[in-house]
Amino acid sequence: MLDCVSLAVARGEFVALVGPNGAGKTTMLRVLLGLSEPSQGSSRILGMPVASFRERWRLGYVPQRPAIPEHLTATVEEVVACGRLSKGRWSRRLTAEDRSEIDHALESVALVDLRRRMLTELSGGQQQRAFIAKALVTRPDVVVLDEPVAGVDADSQRRFRDSLVHLVEDHGSAVLLVSHELSAVADDLDRLLVLRQGKVAFDGTPAQLRETGVSLGVHPEDLPMWLEDH
């Protein structure tokens, strides 16, 4: 349960949402995305009430455990291509620009060599990387990721980090990342929001967090070096 929590992420801002299990992180994401109704207050995406937001391709979202239909018959490339098709009619053909963006997204998560494989044949970590590519392929204005690199190898984390930084710096995207594993993006964060028991324990820059010494409530081995002692 959340208690009087407020969060705004500006264009070009890279924000991490952290805290111990049960702090309310996933609940907060669901409210922000319109998947759960708050008992009070409201949620807006790109200035529009969530209920009125129709341009879903402008939002890239990767849930913690994407649901995969048991009998899905789609390749990795086809799954990523769905992100591009969401920008228009599903019946339209992929353009040269679409294919270029699909190639770039697959490369960013190190799945180029597996693009023809069926998604259901991949490991859990590889499937997660495919859904990350699907979320990034439209170069969305807002990117929301719930534990996106859990179970993903270090090299893929670095590629993922580079893709997010590119979206922020070159496209001005807003990024909200929920993760216990901050090392890959520690030097790129603009803000950290720490949740504890449904309340905001801290909201500020990494430098301010170092000064205050607020504990993130996560395992020390998952923290970047500059937070190890807090």
Could you tell me if residue 3 is inside a domain? no
Could you tell me if residue 65 is inside a domain? yes
Could you tell me if residue 7 is inside a domain? no
pLDDT of residue 230: 40
pTM of the predicted model, to two decimals?
0.81
Q: Using N-to-C axis directions, what is the helix angle for 124-136 and 76-85, rounded to 10°?
A: 20
**Segments forming the whole domain that contains residue 167:** 14-227
Q: Are strands 59-62 and 14-18 parallel, antiparallel or unpaired?
A: unpaired
List, as own/partner pairs, every contact residues 109-115 make where C-beta atoms lie below 8 angstroms and the sequence separation is at least 24, other chains included: 109/133, 109/156, 109/159, 109/160, 109/163, 110/155, 110/156, 110/159, 111/76, 114/76, 115/75, 115/76, 115/77
pLDDT of residue 90: 53
Could you tell me if residue 171 is inside a domain? yes
Could you tell me if residue 9 is inside a domain? no
Look up the CATH number of the domain holding residue 198: 3.40.50.300
Could you tell me if residue 159 is inside a domain? yes
Number of domains the chain is built from: 1
pLDDT by 10-residue block (mean), the chain, 230 residues: 83 90 85 83 86 86 77 89 74 84 89 93 84 89 84 74 83 87 81 88 85 61 44
pLDDT of residue 161: 82
